[in-house]
């Protein structure tokens, strides 16, 4: 299933002629090219539940917007596609501090989790565990991912409670994708799935296709405003990042539903 989504995404980029994204993701010099190779995201998933005891105190968001280039640079260290000339699992002090600092919110928080997930799938778990031990994170990588997803779930609930303002929809889907990917079943809810499907166009892509209410407009500009990551829109209004994370999130929902009915049929529920 994951391989099919990867191949579909590559074909979508080719059809939209987005040369910059293609260069980043699939070119010979693409810093993130390994993460769109078949098999990279294949793994056995252990069911998990978030622990509310791990919630961090509410914090002030970072004083500068999420920087996708900084995040990609740190990912390229793990993937061996950065300035170190093909040497994988490099973890600079600057990247470790930036990608694992406590009390982050929004896209910074989801990309802390993404950083660890990419590192583990790239074969860098031992190096990540060493770094965690060196910096006093005694529960290691599994403890860090548990902490992140507990706090991500709190943010997802807030987005849902606010009525899924447009400014939070892309982040909400990314939250469900990344924590669902490692087995956190708290993110698979029928009401949340229904909300995500409402953001899909008849052509299958995702974006903002309805006339927003005054409350949703306020979410873009008022006190609810969220700092968005970089986004690209196709000629027919499809949002490329939102469509990508939605495809992954829906695959997670499908896997969860199939496993649920298999467990039910085999008497494990």
Distance CA 14, CA 22 (A): 7
Query: What average pLDDT does range 92-110 have in this prediction?
Result: 92
Q: State residue 137's pLDDT score.
A: 94
Distance CA 28, CA 177 (A): 27
Q: Cα–Cα distances in Å, from 113 out to 17, 120, 168, 202, 207?
A: 30, 11, 18, 32, 24
Q: State residue 60's pLDDT score.
A: 57
Q: Looking at the 3D structure of the chain, how many domains does it have?
A: 1
* CA-based torsion, 154, 155, 158, 163: positive or negative: negative
Q: State residue 222's pLDDT score.
A: 41
Confidence of residue 39 (pLDDT cuts 50, 70, 90): confident
31 vs 97, higher pLDDT: 97
Residue-range definition of the domain harbouring residue 16 = 2-265
Contact 3, 39 (CB under 8 A): yes
pLDDT of 52 higher than 70:
yes
pLDDT of 219 higher than 50:
no
207-217: pLDDT as tens digits: 987 655 555 54
Q: State residue 28's pLDDT score.
A: 42
Distance CA 224, CA 231 (A): 19
pLDDT of 59 higher than 80:
no
pTM: 0.83
Q: State residue 25's pLDDT score.
A: 52
pLDDT of 218 higher than 60:
no
Contact 125, 141 (CB under 8 A): yes
111-121: pLDDT as tens digits: 999 999 999 99
């Amino acid at each position: 299933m994951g391989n099919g989504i990867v191949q579909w995404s590559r074909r979508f980029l080719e059809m939209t002629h987005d040369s910059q994204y293609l260069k980043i993701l699939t070119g010979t010099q693409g810093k993130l090219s390994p993460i769109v190779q078949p098999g990279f995201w294949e793994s056995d998933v252990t069911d998990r539940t978030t622990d509310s005891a791990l919630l961090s105190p509410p914090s002030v968001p970072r004083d500068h917007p999420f920087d996708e280039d900084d995040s990609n640079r740190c990912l390229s260290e793990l993937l061996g596609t950065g300035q170190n000339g093909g040497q994988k699992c490099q973890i600079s002090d600057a990247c470790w501090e930036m990608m694992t600092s406590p009390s982050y919110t929004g896209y910074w928080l989801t990309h802390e989790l993404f950083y660890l997930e990419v590192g583990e799938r790239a074969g860098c778990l031992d190096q990540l565990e060493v770094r965690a031990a060196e910096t006093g994170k005694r529960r290691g990588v599994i403890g860090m991912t548990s902490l992140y997803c507990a706090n991500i779930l709190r943010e997802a609930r807030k987005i849902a409670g606010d009525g899924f303002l447009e400014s939070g929809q892309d982040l909400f889907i990314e939250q469900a994708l990344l924590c669902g990917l490692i087995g956190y079943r708290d993110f698979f809810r029928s009401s949340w799935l229904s909300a995500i499907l409402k953001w899909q166009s008849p052509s299958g892509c995702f974006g903002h296709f309805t006339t927003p209410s005054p409350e949703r407009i306020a979410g873009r500009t008022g006190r609810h405003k969220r700092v968005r990551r970089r986004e690209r829109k196709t000629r027919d209004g499809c949002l490329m990042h939102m469509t990508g994370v939605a495809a992954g999130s829906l695959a997670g929902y499908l896997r969860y539903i199939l496993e649920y009915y298999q467990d039910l049929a085999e008497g494990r529920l």
